């Protein structure tokens, strides 16, 4: 700046002294530099133009000193008053800037307000003293219309500075002041930008405007202002603000690009280096690359900010929270923390942060020493006491933790509310007393306190925002919630298992979902969320979550292991084995985990090798921390779910090997070790199933009956017992009685809902309706219960009552689109198409005007159902248009075209909103379904093959693996006699599904028409190997073998078809195939007999009749044998009989 002549050395020294002064009052260790700042300002107050700014700075810093020199302050106040009268406009504005910055750095709110008001008063003085224009008192319109040429550079600077003064203070009326700030910026805008100083203040004005729009949540306008600033000049402050805004919007890719642009302009930009590391940690998972960027940032901080303890501390605090507890990253942040402590050894907050980061490395002993050191440094520092209690809990010293927590509770009214206190209470409630209810209650208090604090601390400072978010603490909270995941047996759970999801687990999943959204590259959060979804049986959601985690880090052994567990839950054993091998390849040590052993053992059992499974599980029982819960500084505790699963699986394998007594001993040990945990029910269920295998059904029931009503797992035990009654003894009465007992225990809506589901499960709709109605009376706001009542009424076939109920329910739940759709389907079932249309059109008014994705998606479903109503009406036999409700444009294709247009909007919105892959894929499948229905409609209307082909191709663009769509396209190409295109489509479909019979048969037809009989026969052979009763393929094969002169091969296929199904001899398809073979073998009489057996079938009848007619009408080939047999006067009689039969068939 000196070289360019933009500033003199005195101004630079003034700003340097200002920075030193603020650093000195911002940290206890920096107090020694306050004298340096005071000496510099004392020298600069003698320089022209800096008299007043230096004097007000000296006043502020003298008042901030530990020992205030009141005599010097009196002298300085007199100097300020003197200089205030004769200062120039530039000097006044520089003083106003100082007051603005001192207000920002002031720790006390009253002091901050005082400084802001002093800044305003100096700006007003500039207004009155420069040019005589009192533009502060003009209206907004007058300001905007003012002649820009009359404004001096000083006045423009004053306007911009005034705007900053209005925007930055955290006052209650900042919205009103923000509008005032915009008024001043509008007044300062315009004029020539040739002057560099004017351009700089124009840029400042754009930054003020961007900050205002950011505060009022108009992020698009804020980004537009920042883009304008960058377009004027590639200015680092504007680029930094743009990066922060993009991060707050979750646009990490653009934020990364902007950060790289900053570093290309200035590789020493401290904010740029810090943001670069933060973006890489949040967005990506390349640990080595992150470590390299972090080391580069640390090197720059030590070189250029070596005395800034607060910078080291804040950076370490934020990055450690984002580290996912990766040891390499945490060790580097610990180095930053130690540097801050080296600069300020007595700062208790720095010591507490160092201890917290040691906890992330599970160095509990070292963390305890540091927490105690922080307590000695500042005995009133409560976070140090929180940390000490936490370490006691982690080390199992629960009594000591309880005593210290009691002390904290006694003084809780005098300390600031924190989420740490209820969190520590929750840890003790579970680990010391096994009180699940208290555990969850305190966790909810901690969650609410933490989130409330986040809402209050809305700050544009990105590093501060992530530090306050504290993802590490949120994940710890979710892990505590997920301790209450209750076992869900996906194979034996009742129909009501999905109704009662543990609310504590839902809290944990909600927290993990938020963390995953805020930190898209946090693999740990994704995997923990996937495990929770798997435990709840939400396999599709878990698959999407695990896929996201592996996209972030394809080398994650834990991710591949979880993928293997998911594949096993879906009974995809091959995929489970592949994923398990990938997990071991990524990290060989993962083989020493219980989860790996469980998957490996289950795969061995599936392969029929229980002996190997037993060996694996017995080895797993010796893993550290599996039999006895262990939480030391070197070991992470094994989850209870995995520990119990090993015991249960071992018992099942022993039972399979007929070692029942050993299995019972294993379960008895498990029962003793895990009593009172959420997994206790799993052990109980396994024990009861073991008793049933020993034909001791009553013993199994006694085990389940022993669970007291007060137990948190009582309801799950009752459901399991009900399933045993129904599946083992087929006792419907006892099955329902279990649910009645739950109702007697707690007469709430949920209990009656389960009872209704149980009645429906045994096909007793009348009592199900009564149960659902009682549930709805207890919870009238739940519209899903109204839908269940309607379904139950329909299943009773009392359609009139069901219709009346739906109409009444819609009056109470008018916005429930599901109820409206159910009523429309009921009207359609009753062939009341006009009423069904009226119900749907009401939901569609006004169609397409809403901008909400959910409403548009509902309109799409309504239009699809409306198209179905129109299609059924077209097929109806009676005149359903007589009421005048339908008009000409009410057509199937019209409704489908509207649905397609709306679905395009839905797809655009979910893609632009960066929704999850699962949601986008779901909407694409709906788009493909609409296009396929539209194509089918075109084909039904006739002579619209081109439109149908276009619709199918659009469906394929939306869902490129849609097998139905690919098959229909192939059939259309076949219809057009384009065999090459048809063959290409069939081959593509067979790549997706090699066992797709329809595609294989169509490909065989193509080869048949190409005269490639051998290839066609091979395809049909493969189909018949998989399904010997595929009579369509068999009939085509018979025709091919006849052309190849190999009819002698046909009887073998007919015999295989007949032997593979006991009902095959009576099947019309087999009769047709036998008739076809006999016809080609010139056995006319036998052929007609078999064709006659098939002609009554709706599928094979038309083909059989055609063959019979051809046999009766063809005297030159098949009837030649008949002529040779008769060879006499009776021949004419025979032909007369044949002609009569032909006429009869044609009639």
1038 within 8 A of 1072, measured Cβ to Cβ: no
The band of 261, judged by pLDDT with boundaries at 50, 70 and 90, is very high
pLDDT number for residue 21: 83
The band of 181, judged by pLDDT with boundaries at 50, 70 and 90, is low
- Report the greatest alpha carbon distance in the chain: 150
Pairwise pLDDT comparison (998 vs 528), residue with the higher score: 528
pLDDT at 549 over 80: yes
pLDDT tens digits along 101-151: 888 777 677 777 888 888 888 887 776 655 444 444 443 333 333 444 445
Closest CA to 357 of 399, 393, 387: 387
3-state secondary structure string across 761-821: HCCCHHHHHHHHHHHHHHCCCCHHHHHHHHHHHHHCCCHHHHHHHHHHHHHHCCCCHHHHH
Pairwise pLDDT comparison (957 vs 195), residue with the higher score: 957
Distance CA 476, CA 359 (A): 12
Q: With the CA atoms of 232, 238, 242 and 245 taken in that order, what torsion angle do they form, in degrees rounded to the nearest 10?
A: -130
Q: Provide the 10 A C-beta neighbour count for residue 1062.
A: 8
The band of 455, judged by pLDDT with boundaries at 50, 70 and 90, is confident
Calculate mean pLDDT across residues 539-550: 86
The band of 511, judged by pLDDT with boundaries at 50, 70 and 90, is very high
Distance CA 75, CA 55 (A): 10
Calculate mean pLDDT across residues 385-397: 92
pLDDT at 211 over 80: yes
pLDDT number for residue 263: 92
pLDDT at 159 over 70: yes
Q: Provide the 10 A C-beta neighbour count for residue 1012.
A: 13
pLDDT number for residue 1124: 37
pLDDT at 478 over 90: yes
Q: Provide the 10 A C-beta neighbour count for residue 461.
A: 13
pLDDT at 553 over 90: no
Pairwise pLDDT comparison (157 vs 926), residue with the higher score: 926
pLDDT tens digits along 858-889: 888 989 999 888 888 877 644 444 444 444 34
pLDDT at 1012 over 50: yes
Poorest-pLDDT segment among 675-684, 819-828, 932-941: 675-684
Label residue 699 exposed, middle or buried (CB < 10 Å: 0-12, 13-18, 19+). Answer: middle
Q: Quick one: how far is CA 1114 from the chain centroid?
A: 69
223 within 8 A of 232, measured Cβ to Cβ: no
pLDDT number for residue 447: 93
The band of 273, judged by pLDDT with boundaries at 50, 70 and 90, is very high
pLDDT number for residue 4: 43
Calculate mean pLDDT across residues 72-89: 86
pLDDT number for residue 570: 86
Label residue 875 exposed, middle or buried (CB < 10 Å: 0-12, 13-18, 19+). Answer: exposed
Distance CA 802, CA 823 (A): 9
Distance CA 145, CA 172 (A): 30
Q: Provide the 10 A C-beta neighbour count for residue 310.
A: 18
The band of 1116, judged by pLDDT with boundaries at 50, 70 and 90, is low
Bond prior to 846 in cis (omega within 30° of 0): yes
674 within 8 A of 686, measured Cβ to Cβ: no
235 DSSP assignment: -
pLDDT at 1139 over 80: no
Counting residues of the chain whose pLDDT is more than 70, the rounded percentage is 85
Is the entire prediction scored with pTM above 0.75?
no
pLDDT at 152 over 80: no
Dump strand ranges (E) for 883-936: none
pLDDT at 6 over 70: no
Q: Average pLDDT of the chain?
A: 81
Pairwise pLDDT comparison (203 vs 460), residue with the higher score: 203
Start-to-end CA distance of the chain, whole Å, equals 105
560 within 8 A of 586, measured Cβ to Cβ: yes
pLDDT number for residue 831: 86
**Angle at CA 980, nearest 5°, toward 976 and 981?**
65
Q: Rg of the chain's alpha carbons, rounded to an integer?
A: 40
The band of 633, judged by pLDDT with boundaries at 50, 70 and 90, is very low
pLDDT number for residue 879: 45
pLDDT at 45 over 50: yes
Calculate mean pLDDT across residues 897-913: 85
Distance CA 272, CA 332 (A): 19
pLDDT number for residue 987: 85
Pairwise pLDDT comparison (1044 vs 368), residue with the higher score: 368
pLDDT tens digits along 425-438: 999 998 888 788 89
Q: With the CA atoms of 770, 775, 780 and 781 taken in that order, what torsion angle do they form, in degrees rounded to the nearest 10?
A: -130
Counting residues of the chain whose pLDDT is more than 90, the rounded percentage is 21
229 within 8 A of 203, measured Cβ to Cβ: yes
């Amino acid at each position: 700046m000196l070289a360019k002549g933009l500033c003199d050395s005195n101004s630079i020294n003034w700003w340097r002294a200002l920075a030193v002064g603020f650093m000195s009052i911002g940290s206890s260790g920096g107090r020694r530099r306050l004298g340096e700042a005071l000496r510099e300002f004392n020298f600069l107050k003698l320089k022209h133009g800096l008299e007043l700014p230096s004097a007000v700075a000296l006043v502020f810093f003298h008042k901030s000193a530990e020992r205030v020199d009141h005599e010097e302050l009196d002298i300085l106040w007199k100097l300020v008053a003197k200089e205030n009268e004769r200062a120039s406009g530039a000097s006044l504005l520089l003083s106003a800037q100082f007051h603005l910055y001192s207000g920002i750095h002031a720790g006390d709110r009253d002091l901050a307000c005082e400084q802001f008001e002093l800044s305003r008063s100096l700006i007003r003085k500039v207004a009155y003293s420069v040019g005589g224009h009192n533009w502060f008192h003009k209206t907004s319109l007058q300001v905007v219309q003012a002649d820009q040429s009359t404004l001096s550079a000083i006045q423009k600077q004053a306007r911009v500075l005034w705007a900053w003064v209005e925007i930055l203070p955290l006052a209650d009326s900042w919205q009103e002041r923000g509008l005032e700030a915009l008024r001043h910026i509008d007044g300062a805008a315009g004029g020539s930008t040739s002057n560099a100083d004017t351009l700089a203040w124009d840029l400042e004005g754009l930054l003020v405007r961007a900050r205002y729009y950011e505060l009022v949540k108009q992020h698009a306008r804020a980004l537009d202002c920042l883009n304008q600033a960058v377009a004027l000049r590639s200015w680092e402050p504007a680029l930094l603000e743009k990066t922060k805004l993009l991060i707050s919007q979750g646009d990490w890719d653009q934020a990364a690009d902007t950060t790289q642009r900053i570093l290309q302009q200035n590789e020493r930009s401290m904010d740029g280096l810090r943001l670069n590391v933060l973006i890489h940690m949040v967005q990506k998972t390349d640990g080595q690359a992150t470590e390299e960027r972090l080391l580069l940032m640390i090197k720059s901080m030590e070189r250029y900010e070596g005395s800034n303890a607060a910078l080291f501390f804040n950076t370490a605090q934020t990055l450690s929270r984002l580290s996912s507890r990766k040891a390499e990253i945490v060790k580097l942040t610990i180095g930053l923390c130690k540097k801050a402590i080296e600069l300020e050894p007595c700062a208790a907050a720095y010591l507490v942060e160092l201890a917290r980061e040691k906890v992330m490395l599970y160095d509990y002993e070292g963390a305890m020493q540091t927490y105690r050191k922080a307590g000695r440094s500042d005995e009133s520092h409560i976070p140090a006491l929180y940390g000490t209690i936490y370490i006691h809990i982690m080390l199992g010293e629960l009594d000591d933790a309880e005593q210290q927590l009691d002390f904290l509770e006694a003084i809780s009214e005098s300390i600031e509310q924190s989420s740490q206190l209820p969190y520590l209470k929750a840890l003790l409630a579970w680990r010391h007393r096994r009180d699940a209810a208290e555990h969850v209650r305190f966790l909810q208090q901690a969650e609410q306190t933490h989130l409330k604090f986040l809402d209050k601390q809305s700050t544009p400072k990105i590093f501060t925002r992530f530090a306050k978010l504290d993802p590490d603490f949120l994940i710890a909270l979710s892990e505590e919630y997920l301790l209450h995941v209750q076992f869900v047996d996906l194979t034996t759970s009742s129909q009501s298992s999905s109704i009662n999801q543990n609310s504590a687990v839902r809290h944990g999943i909600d927290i993990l979902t938020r963390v995953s959204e805020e930190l898209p590259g946090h693999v740990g959060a994704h995997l923990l969320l996937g495990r929770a979804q798997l435990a709840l049986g939400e396999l599709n959601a878990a698959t999407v979550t695990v896929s996201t985690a592996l996209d972030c880090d394809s080398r994650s052994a834990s991710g591949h292991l979880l993928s293997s567990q998911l594949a096993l839950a879906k009974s995809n054993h091959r995929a489970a084995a592949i994923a398990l091998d990938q997990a071991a390849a990524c990290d060989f040590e993962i083989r020493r985990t219980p989860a790996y052993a469980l998957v490996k053992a289950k795969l061995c059992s599936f392969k029929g090798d229980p002996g190997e499974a037993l060996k694996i599980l017995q080895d797993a029982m010796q893993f550290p921390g599996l039999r006895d819960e262990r939480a030391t500084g070197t070991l992470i505790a094994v989850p209870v779910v995995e520990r119990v699963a090993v015991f249960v699986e071992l018992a099942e394998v022993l039972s399979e090997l007929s070692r029942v007594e050993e299995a019972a001993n294993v379960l008895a040990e498990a029962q003793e070790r895990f009593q009172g945990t959420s997994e206790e029910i799993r052990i109980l269920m396994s024990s009861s199933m073991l008793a049933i295998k020993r034909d001791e059904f009553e013993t199994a029931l006694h085990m389940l009956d022993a669970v007291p009503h007060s137990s948190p797992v009582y309801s799950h035990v009752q459901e399991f017992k009900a399933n045993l009654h129904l599946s083992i003894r087929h006792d419907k009465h006892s099955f329902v009685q279990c649910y009645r007992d739950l109702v007697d225990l707690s007469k709430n809506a949920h209990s009656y809902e389960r009872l209704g589901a149980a009645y429906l499960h045994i096909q007793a709709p009348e009592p199900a309706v009564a149960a659902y109605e009682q549930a709805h009376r207890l919870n009238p706001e739940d519209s899903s219960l109204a839908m269940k009542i309607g379904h139950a009424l329909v299943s009773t076939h009392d359609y009139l009552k069901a219709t009346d109920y739906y109409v009444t329910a819609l009056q109470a739940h008018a916005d429930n689109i599901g109820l409206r759709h159910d009523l429309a389907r009921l009207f359609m079932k009753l062939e009341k198409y006009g009423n069904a249309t009226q119900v749907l059109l009401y939901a569609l008014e006004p169609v397409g005007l809403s901008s909400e994705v959910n409403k548009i998606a509902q309109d799409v479903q309504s239009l699809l159902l409306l198209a179905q109503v129109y299609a059924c009406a077209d097929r109806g036999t009676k005149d359903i248009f007589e009421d005048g409700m339908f008009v000409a444009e009410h057509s199937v294709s019209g409704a489908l075209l509207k649905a397609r247009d709306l679905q395009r909007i839905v797809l655009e919105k979910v893609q632009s909103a960066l929704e999850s892959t699962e949601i986008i894929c779901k909407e694409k499948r709906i788009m493909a379904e609409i296009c396929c229905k539209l194509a089918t409609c075109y084909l039904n209307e006739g002579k619209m093959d081109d439109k149908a082909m276009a619709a199918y191709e659009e469906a394929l663009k939306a869902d490129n693996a849609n097998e139905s769509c690919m098959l229909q396209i192939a059939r259309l190409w076949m219809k057009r006699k384009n065999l090459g295109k048809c063959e290409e489509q069939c081959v593509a479909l067979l790549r997706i599904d090699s066992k797709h019979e329809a595609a294989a048969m169509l490909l065989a037809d193509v080869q048949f028409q190409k005269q490639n009989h051998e290839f066609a026969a091979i395809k049909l052979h493969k189909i018949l190997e998989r399904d010997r009763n595929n009579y369509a393929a068999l009939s085509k094969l018979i025709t091919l073998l006849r052309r190849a002169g190999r009819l002698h091969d046909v009887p073998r296929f007919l015999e295989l078809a007949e032997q593979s199904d006991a009902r095959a001899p009576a099947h019309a398809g087999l009769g047709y195939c036998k008739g076809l073979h006999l016809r080609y073998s010139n056995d006319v009489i036998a052929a007609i007999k078999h064709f006659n057996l098939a002609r009554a079938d709706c599928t094979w009848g038309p083909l059989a009749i055609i063959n019979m007619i051809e046999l009766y009408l063809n005297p030159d080939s098949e009837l030649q044998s008949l002529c040779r047999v008769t060879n006499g006067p009776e021949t004419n009689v025979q032909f007369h009989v044949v002609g009569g039969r032909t006429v009869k068939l044609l009639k």
